[in-house]
Structure 1
């Protein structure tokens, strides 16, 4: 009896395909999802070997199509959309370009040259304060000078760098 019921449901699916798809489209609000659900329903019916007692074949088909649509929605929710994949692939390369590398090396060499032109004490104070982040009082104590002199040497070093940068850009 179940083979006859299954054959009847398959026949009804083919005969009433357009009506079922239209009803499913209205219910789901998407013709694409309804079409996919109808396809999945047919595949399920083709793979099914037997079914139990069915009260209403039309209700059975509609419920099977709704279940297929729900399964498709769950499956689609697990996967990234094409737009999401594209946005993930559109990641800016943060590595410097060859031009940026050359420019940075050039600027570093210019900085080293400017640093070499500073008087020894000024260079020592500048490197201690800016590179090693040593407090001014500690620098003054190490060099045996006043804190005010350390501040003055830092100011002069900064002015020298600013002037040299203006010359390079101008």
Structure 2
């Protein structure tokens, strides 16, 4: 480990020892006492360690809460995706239902698509979702977003490219 990495590691360790109980409690309060709160607290510190950079912190709890909020939002979004998938599977006759391994693979792909769409600008993501999930035409999307139909077309190209590159990366 270089001197800088050691310093980040030591500072993260100090941050952990001073604030982990507070962060776990903060998350537990927001999650209704779920045990997942402890896991998300751990993930918060893992995120800091993997970033390999830890700025000087005037407000360490605000810093930790910001990271934890993002992880919490991801946690709830993943749960919503899983619930929606399982609800859809409940409508499939048992003989056509995927096996547990296939379910896991599909969920991983759904999470990856969600992350790819989440990385897009808000209007690009919204245009794509309105077209794909709501079946709206470009003209309707343009009116709703206050942009031109040409801009909607550009948004769609960006979103489709994000999904395509995701698929290409999986190969």
- The structure number with the bigger radius of gyration is 1
Structure with more contact order per residue of length (Cα contacts < 8 Å, sep ≥ 6): 1
Using the size of structure 2 for normalisation, the TM-score is 0.43
Using the size of structure 1 for normalisation, the TM-score is 0.44
